A and B are shown apart, each in its own frame.
Chain A
Amino acid sequence: MADEIEVLTFKLTNKEYAVRVERLREILRYQRITHVPRAEPYLIGVTSVRGKILPVIDLKKRLAIKGEDKGRQKIIILSPVKVDDPIGILIDSVKDVIRFSEKDLLTPSQALSKEERNFIEGVIEVKGRLISLLNIDEAINMESVWV
């Protein structure tokens, strides 16, 4: 079963994205986020999770997706590879945890630029919906977060 991938799908504005579950710690409801002065625009601030202070990134801003906030916003806590401390990303709404075969993962279009392709690992088609599987380590370049 090594060729099975499990992902969490969620929405940014009205588009669906996915992230591999291996990276996830937990999903939180929206809670108070304290603004950090002189931070990058996409770094909303920090929040406290069970006594630990985590940075929270607005994924829409990070991915330069334009649109209004929709639904009950959630914070997904992730464990990036490069850094020990987990970070939160703010998304619009969570959808599902789905499982699919790795061969169903479509590679992104070659028409996209290399940098653009860096953010996307591939595209999955689920019940007629196209879901982009984010390369979360690239999407959240933690070095730039902690500058």
Chain B
Amino acid sequence: MGLKDISLKVKIIGLVVGCLLAGGLVTGIASISFIKSDAFTIATNYAETTVSLVTGHLEHMALSTGMPSAVKDFIDSHEGRFKGVESITVLTTEGKNIIDRERAVEDIALINKVKESGQKAIRTTKESIIFYNPLINSAACANCHKDRPERSVIGVARISISTKDAQSQLIYRVKVVLAGILLGLFVLTLILLLAFRIAIIEPMRKLESIVMNISEGDLSFRPNIQWSKDEIGRLTNKIGKALRDISRIIERTVAISNSIMKTTNEVERESKKVIAGSKTEAESINKLFQSIEELNKSASEMAEGSSRLIISSERAAVSSSKMAVNTEQIAQNTIELSNTIDSASSSVEEVSAKVKEIAQRAEELSMSATETMSAIEEIDSSVKEIESNTKESARLSEKVTSDAAAFGITSVEKTARGMERIKQTVQKTAASIEKLSRRSEEIGKILNVIEEITDQTTLLALNAAILAAQAGEQGKGFSVVADEIKDLAERTSMSTQEIADLIQSVQSDIKDANAAMSEGITTVEEGSQLTDEAKEALWKIVESSRQSTEMASVIERATYEQTKGVSLVRDAMERVRGMSVQIAAATSEQSKDVSMIIGATEKVREVAVYVRNETIEQSMGQKQLFESVENVASLLQEISGAINNQKTATDNILVSVERIKSLPDDNREIAFHINSDLRALLSNAEILMTELQRFKLLPESKGEVLKIGVIPLCSPAEMHKRFTPLAAYLSRRLDKTVELKLEADFAGTIKDIGEGVTDICYMTPSTFLKAREKYGVEVIAKALREGRPFHRSVIITKGDWKINSVTDIKGHSFAFGDVHSTSSHIVPRAMLKDSGVDINDLSFYGFMGHHDDVARVVLSGEFDAGGLMESVAERFKENGLKTIAYSSDIPEFNICVNKDMPEDEKALIKMALFNLNVDKPEDRDILQSIDRQYTGFTGSVFEDYKGVKAMMEKFKIGVNI
């Protein structure tokens, strides 16, 4: 057993005891030696005192008696009288005992030393201290010891003091001290051991056991918070934390491998189904193959039959075509005959027609002759009318001519002459006015001159006045004259001004008159021009009436001749009419004969036509027959072709089917492969599971860590994101580490809260009820959706789908969320039931898991309809989701706690949840992170969920979890 194998405890004890022993020994020895030397010194001091006393007595005795016998008595009497004095001897300087001179010389070396130095000497033996005190030859002594020099050493008093008692006392003390030290050491060692045990060994042992447990897979270690915060404490805590993390990892791994196993099982089941399916597939393909083969056979038979049919129909066609040729020849001959008769008949008809035409023409001629006659009559009468009218107009124009010449022209000419006179008069007046105007202008000019002169006069007068003023008194008379001149000038100026004004008005009058005159002249000129024009017009009238008179007489003559012409025409027409009547009579007789001929030919033709029609019909029938035979042949050909095609098609199908036949085998093989792979996977997963089950995982802490479970409404990642703010908030409020636990499914969530893996959990109503039923989980709060503690389920379908009400869903597919979900399964199912749609009425249904998935499969068309929470449906509304029904209120999702949670902690969590205020921005973020419509939490009790419980019981959901 080497040093390595010794346990830590033994090592520590050994070390401690060794150290203590060594320390004790050193201390003991040191203290004994110190005490010893101290005790010796003290003893020596005490002995010295005794010795000096004894010596004094000796000297005194010697002086008082001077007899050695006295000394002897003294010694005898004093030996043992002083405590510790062992013996008293007086020695001479030669070492002789003065009492017993016979004794051998003793201690001569020390005596000599004393004698020389005059000082006492000390010798120690084991059990005593021996003092050699000098005896000095004092004045008193010299009486007896005259032979000795004064103050010399005459003898030595040897006093032996026993140290035995002191020594034994000392040894006793040392023993006591040593015993004390040893006792102390022992106690100390014990204390140390205890301390080590508590501080290190115990924790270490615990750690050891923990690690042992860990190595055996037990990870359920929980570091005790009371542990010290030293290295071991910290180490333990770290290990605890690491274990917790590992636990979480393992949990997740377990969950994952669970789901792997589940999935693998499912896949295996599925692949089994695939194998079974492919078997059936192969069978049905075989059947199909057989039927196709049969079909092929029958098609071959049909093809054969149809070829035979074609041959026979072809034969029929040939014979019928021969027949047709013969019939056609007959028909042709008949047609030729008919044609000949036709041409004869037509020539007769032509003749007849011509005769008829002539008759018609003659009649027409007669008629037109009559018409002509009447027209001519009309012409005649109108000509006569014209004649009389012309005569009248000739007379009238003649009268016009004479009248115009007689009155019009003369009066017009008179007017013209009058006009001319007016013009001349006006022109004369204008000239005189012009003259007047010129005159007045001249007067104006003269006035200007006068004014000029007046102005100058005034100026002169003023200048004179100025001069007069400057001249003073002398100029006074002159000034008066100047003033008068000026006044005159001013008066002149004024009257000139007046004249000027008058002339100005006259001139303006003249100007007006002038303007009037020239206007008059232009008027007169215009009048005279008009008169000329009138005259001319009058002349033109006279001329034209003269011409019309002439014309009228010409017309008169012409009409007369015309009348004569008309009479001639009338006579001619009369003759024409007579002739045409004769022609008509002749032609009518001719027509009668022609009619007879026509009747005869008509009969002949009728016969010919009959014959021809008959032959044509026969030929037609023959042709039809031939054509139908031909049709039959071609149809047969087509059928044959089709049959042949069918046959090649079936052949192809056969080949394909042959190939398809091998496919299920391949599939089966693949499925088998998959299956074996799966089995391998499954066994691996199982191994992993058993491996993992070896770990006894840490049951979730009570106290320092609060674990929140969250029901997986949508993907776990999304749920984690949604609840992270709430977890942070609770951590802050409760001053605890809050961990979110991701749940993979509803069942796991229920199990975790029930078994205390999670402390609190966000749950749906139905999961809460199940958790309560199974684990006694308690509800403490429910969420408020837009201020109300309720939400609704909806039934959705795709926007463009034909389903418009819940009853329409019958016979369609339906998607639910999780089987444990209230709003995506239980309530929608109840809604279906209430509308008379049993779950068995659906073509099929499925559980999609999350609400989002329900929305997605309905949108993608995998399912016709689905049931989910209203808020999720709202989110997908813009993608084309249609809501067709809403449920009644369902209590909102809630916060549940494990049944073992202490009341005070429940109260704290409740307080924290109820304190969330949607009006505070930071709290609103927390709430809306969970659900956009959440506005807070409120208290809740089991009674809120009784309605859901009833529904669940109705559908027998949640019995087995």
A123 interfacial by beta-carbon distance below 8 Å: no
B466 interfacial by beta-carbon distance below 8 Å: yes
Cβ-defined contact, A21 with B463, below 8 A: no
Per-residue A-contact encoding for B562-584, CB less than 8 Å = 1, 0 else? 00000000000000000000000
Cβ-defined contact, B459 with A24, below 8 A: no
Cβ-defined contact, B462 with A8, below 8 A: yes
Interchain nearest-CB distance for B493 vs A (Å): 11
Cβ-defined contact, A8 with B466, below 8 A: yes
Residues in chain A near residue B466, CB distance under 8 A: 8, 21, 24, 26-27, 97
B124 interfacial by beta-carbon distance below 8 Å: no
Cβ-defined contact, A27 with B469, below 8 A: no
Cβ-defined contact, A29 with B459, below 8 A: yes
In the complex, which of the residues A1, A72, A94 contacts B462, with contact meaning CB atoms closer than 8 Å?
A: A94
Cβ-defined contact, B470 with A21, below 8 A: yes
In the complex, which of the residues A1, A6, A94 contacts B459, with contact meaning CB atoms closer than 8 Å?
A: A94
Cβ-defined contact, B465 with A97, below 8 A: yes
* Distance between Cα atoms of A144 and B769 in the complex (Å): 122
Residues in chain B near residue A21, CB distance under 8 A: 465-466, 469-470
* Distance between Cα atoms of A96 and B470 in the complex (Å): 15
In the complex, which of the residues B455, B456, B469 contacts A97, with contact meaning CB atoms closer than 8 Å?
A: B469
Interface residues of A in 16-33 (CB under 8 A from B): 21-22, 24, 26-29
A117 interfacial by beta-carbon distance below 8 Å: no
Question: Given A21-B470, A22-B470, does the pair A74, B459 have CB atoms closer than 8 Å?
Answer: yes
Residues in chain B near residue A29, CB distance under 8 A: 455-456, 459
Interchain nearest-CB distance for B99 vs A (Å): 170
Residues in chain B near residue A97, CB distance under 8 A: 462, 465-466, 469, 479, 482-483
Chain B: residues with Cβ within 8 Å of the partner, total of 15
* Distance between Cα atoms of A74 and B462 in the complex (Å): 12
Per-residue A-contact encoding for B449-478, CB less than 8 Å = 1, 0 else? 000000110110011011001100100000
- Indicate the member of A1, A6, A28, A29 with the most B CB atoms within 10 Å: A6
Cβ-defined contact, B455 with A6, below 8 A: no
* Distance between Cα atoms of A129 and B470 in the complex (Å): 25
Per-residue B-contact encoding for A12-50, CB less than 8 Å = 1, 0 else? 000000000110101111000000000000000000000
* Distance between Cα atoms of A21 and B471 in the complex (Å): 10
Residues in chain B near residue A26, CB distance under 8 A: 463, 466
Interface residues of A in 47-105 (CB under 8 A from B): 72, 74, 94, 96-97, 99
* Distance between Cα atoms of A14 and B465 in the complex (Å): 23
Interface of B is mostly: helix
Residues in chain A near residue B463, CB distance under 8 A: 26-27
Q: State which size class the interface on A falls in.
A: 10 to 19
Closest to B468 in A: A97
Cβ-defined contact, A27 with B470, below 8 A: no
* Distance between Cα atoms of A1 and B459 in the complex (Å): 27
Residues in chain A near residue B465, CB distance under 8 A: 21, 97
Cβ-defined contact, A6 with B469, below 8 A: yes
Residues in chain B near residue A6, CB distance under 8 A: 469
* Distance between Cα atoms of A29 and B463 in the complex (Å): 11
Closest to B479 in A: A97
Interchain nearest-CB distance for B565 vs A (Å): 100
* Distance between Cα atoms of A126 and B37 in the complex (Å): 165
Residues in chain A near residue B470, CB distance under 8 A: 21-22, 24
Residues in chain A near residue B456, CB distance under 8 A: 29
Residues in chain A near residue B459, CB distance under 8 A: 27-29, 74, 94
- Indicate the member of B459, B463, B469, B470 with the most A CB atoms within 10 Å: B469
Residues in chain B near residue A96, CB distance under 8 A: 462, 486
* Distance between Cα atoms of A28 and B473 in the complex (Å): 25
Interchain nearest-CB distance for B784 vs A (Å): 91
- Indicate the member of B455, B458, B462, B483 with the most A CB atoms within 10 Å: B462
Interchain nearest-CB distance for A18 vs B (Å): 12
Residues in chain B near residue A74, CB distance under 8 A: 459
Interchain nearest-CB distance for A53 vs B (Å): 21
Residues in chain B near residue A24, CB distance under 8 A: 466, 470
* Distance between Cα atoms of A82 and B553 in the complex (Å): 118
* Distance between Cα atoms of A96 and B479 in the complex (Å): 12
Closest to B459 in A: A27
Interface residues of B in 896-936 (CB under 8 A from A): none
* Distance between Cα atoms of A26 and B455 in the complex (Å): 15
Interface residues of B in 472-505 (CB under 8 A from A): 473, 479, 482-483, 486
Interchain nearest-CB distance for A62 vs B (Å): 21
Closest to B465 in A: A97
Interchain nearest-CB distance for B461 vs A (Å): 9
Residues in chain B near residue A99, CB distance under 8 A: 469
* Distance between Cα atoms of A22 and B459 in the complex (Å): 17
- Indicate the member of B456, B459, B483 with the most A CB atoms within 10 Å: B459
* Distance between Cα atoms of A74 and B482 in the complex (Å): 19
Residues in chain A near residue B458, CB distance under 8 A: 94
* Distance between Cα atoms of A6 and B473 in the complex (Å): 12
Interchain nearest-CB distance for A63 vs B (Å): 21
Residues in chain A near residue B479, CB distance under 8 A: 97
Interchain nearest-CB distance for B475 vs A (Å): 10
* Distance between Cα atoms of A97 and B482 in the complex (Å): 10
Chain B residues near A (Cβ < 8 Å)? 455-456, 458-459, 462-463, 465-466, 469-470, 473, 479, 482-483, 486
Query: Nearest 10 CB-CB pairs, A to B?
Result: A97-B465, A6-B469, A21-B469, A24-B466, A26-B463, A21-B466, A27-B463, A27-B462, A27-B459, A94-B462
Q: Would you give 22 A-B contacts (Cβ < 8 Å), ordered by A? A: A8-B462, A8-B466, A21-B465, A21-B466, A21-B469, A21-B470, A22-B469, A24-B466, A24-B470, A27-B459, A27-B462, A27-B463, A28-B459, A29-B456, A94-B458, A94-B459, A94-B462, A96-B462, A97-B466, A97-B469, A97-B479, A97-B483
Chain A residues near B (Cβ < 8 Å)? 1, 6, 8, 21-22, 24, 26-29, 72, 74, 94, 96-97, 99
Query: Other than the known A29-B456, A94-B459, what 20 A-B pairs have Cβ atoms closer than 8 Å?
Result: A1-B473, A6-B469, A8-B462, A21-B465, A21-B466, A21-B469, A21-B470, A22-B469, A26-B466, A27-B459, A27-B463, A27-B466, A29-B455, A94-B462, A96-B462, A96-B486, A97-B466, A97-B482, A97-B483, A99-B469
